Amino acid sequence: MALRRVARKPWPRNGQMVFRLRAAVDDRYRDRRTIHDRKQYVGPAGSKREIVFWSVDRRVGGKIMAAYKPSWRARAGPVDRAGESVSNDNEIRPFRLNMPEEVIADMHRRITATRWPTRELVTDRSQGVQLATVQELARYWTTDHDWRALEAKLNALPQYTTDIDGVEIHFIHVQSKHENALPLIMTHGWPGSVVELLGVIGPLTDPTAHGGRAEDAFHLVLPSLPGYGLSGEPTELGWENGRIARAWAELMDRLGYSRYVAQGGDVGAAVTDAMGRQAPNGLLGIHVNLLAGAIGIKDQLPAETEQERAAHDALNTFTTDGFGYFLEQSTRPQTIGYSLLDSPVALAAWMLDHDTDSYYKIARAFVDGKPVGGLTRDNVVDNITLYWLTGTAASAARWYWEFGRAVAGAAGKAPPPVSVPIGFTTFPGEIWAAPRSWVETVYPGLAYFNEADRGGHFAAWEEPELFATEMRAAFRPLRKS
C-alpha cells in the first residue's frame, strides 16, 4: 500500500521554501525519512495499533529547512503491510514537540536586535506596557529562559492531535488513576494557551496528592483553541464560539466520554458558555470564571450595592480605557499580526497589555523578582515563546474578529438558555469581579457560586490549587447525575 502525503505547507520565507509534513509521506520521500522508534499500543475498543516515530528532512538548495511547527510528530492509525501508519478522518494521533534549534536561535537574534522606544512619560501603565518591564523580560528571555524545559514538560504529558471540521486540534489528555473520575474539558483563553492550565493537572487528576479526596478526581482534556499554539489554523471563516463548542463536543465523543463537564475562562468562558447553550449529549454542567455576557447587557445589570457599583466602574474602565487589544483584534487582526509575527518583543508587549491586575503581577515577577503564584518569569515566557515559535499570534487574534461579527449578527436576539447546571467563581483580581446578582442575571439557572479570596483573570495559572478546589466544589453535585 502506498503511503499518502496528507499535507505539505509552505511557510513565509525569504526566497526559500519551508515545508511541514503532517502525516505519512509518499514514496518519493521514503529515502529521506528517518525512523526513530516503533511502539505497539492498544487503541480504542482493544484495537492494536503501532506508533511510528519518524522525521523527514526537506532539502532546498542543499540546506535543511525547518518548519515553525514541530519537526516531527508521532502518528498512530491503521497499520499497512509496510508497518507505517495511514491517517483516517477520526484518527487520534499521539503528538510530540521538538522545535528546531535554528528557529530558537532566530528568535533570540530578533530579540537582541529590538529597536526600543523611549521610556513612557507616566509612572503607571496608562500609556501601555512599561519599558523597564519589557526590557527585563527580553533580557531574561535571551539569557535565562530554557525553552527545552517546557518541551520536556509537555512531552511528559499525553498529547494528541485529531482533525475536526477541517482543523487539526491539539490536546492534552490526562486520565486519573482514581476510579469514577469525572471527565472535564477545560478551555484556555487569550493571551493564554495550554501552558496556563498545566498547574491544575496534578490537583485535578490526583486530588489525594493535593489535599483532596479520590472521589473528586477528574480525567482532563485540555485542547488548544483553533489557530492557537499547537493546533492548526482555520482556513475558512466561521470559527466563532459556537463552532468551537461543537468541535469540543465532537472531541469528547471521539474520546469515548458519554458524560462530562466543561470549564473555561476568557475566550474559554465564551466557548464553554456556548457549550452550555448547545447542551450536547453527555454534557452534565459547565463552570466559567469570566462573565463575558456582561459587556452586552451592562445597562441591565444591578447597580444598587457597593459591590455592584464597583463592578460597573471596573466594566466601564475596561470598555473605555482597557480594551485596546480587544478593539484592534476584533476589527483588524491581520494588521496587528504583521508586528506580532515579526518581532518577539512586540508580541510579548502585546500579550502583557491585557489587564491591569495581571500586568502588575507579571511586572513584579520580572522587575522585582517577586512572582505571584504561578505567574513566574519562566511560565510567562513559556507562554509567549509558544505563540512565537508556532507563529500563531495573528490566527489567534482572528477569534476576536469572529466573535465581534457573531455578536453583531445576533444583536437584538435573545440567546438560547443554558440548559445544564452552571457554576461560577468570582476572583477578586478579575477585569470586572462579577457579584452574584450579575451572574444570576446572565445565568438564571446558577447552581454554584463562590467568591474566592485571591486570584485574577488567569486564575488557574496564578492559583492552581485554589482553582482546583473550586472545580471540585462546583462539579461535586453532578458526579452521580
End-to-end CA distance of the chain: 48
Helix ranges (H only) for 94-230 are 101-112, 131-143, 147-155, 201-205
From 160, 228, 400, 443, active-site residue: 400
Active site (annotated) includes residue 457: yes
Active site (annotated) includes residue 313: no
CA gap 48, 431 in Å, rounded = 49
**Whose CA is closest to 184, among 423, 453, 441?**
423
Neighbour-count burial for 114-128, b at 16+ CB within 10 Å, e otherwise: eeeeeeeeeeebeeb
Q: How distant is the alpha carbon of residue 396 from its chain centre?
A: 10
Active site (annotated) includes residue 359: no
| Backbone torsions φ then ψ of 114, nearest 5 degrees | -60, 135
Neighbour-count burial for 245-284, b at 16+ CB within 10 Å, e otherwise: bbbbbbbbeebebeebbbbbbbbbbbbbbbbbbbebeebb
**Three-point CA angle 332, 433, 372, nearest 5°:** 85
Helix ranges (H only) for 144-288 are 147-155, 201-205, 241-254, 267-278
Helix ranges (H only) for 354-435 are 356-363, 377-390, 393-409
From 216, 266, 273, 357, active-site residue: 266
Grid coordinates representing 356?
491591569
Residues whose CB is less than 8 angstroms from the CB of residue 111 and which lie 6 or more positions away in sequence, other chains included: 138, 141, 142, 344, 345
Helix ranges (H only) for 241-354 are 241-254, 267-278, 306-317, 324-331, 333-342, 344-352
Grid coordinates representing 382?
513559556
Residues whose CB is less than 8 angstroms from the CB of residue 60 and which lie 6 or more positions away in sequence, other chains included: 16, 17
Catalytically active residues are: 266, 400, 457
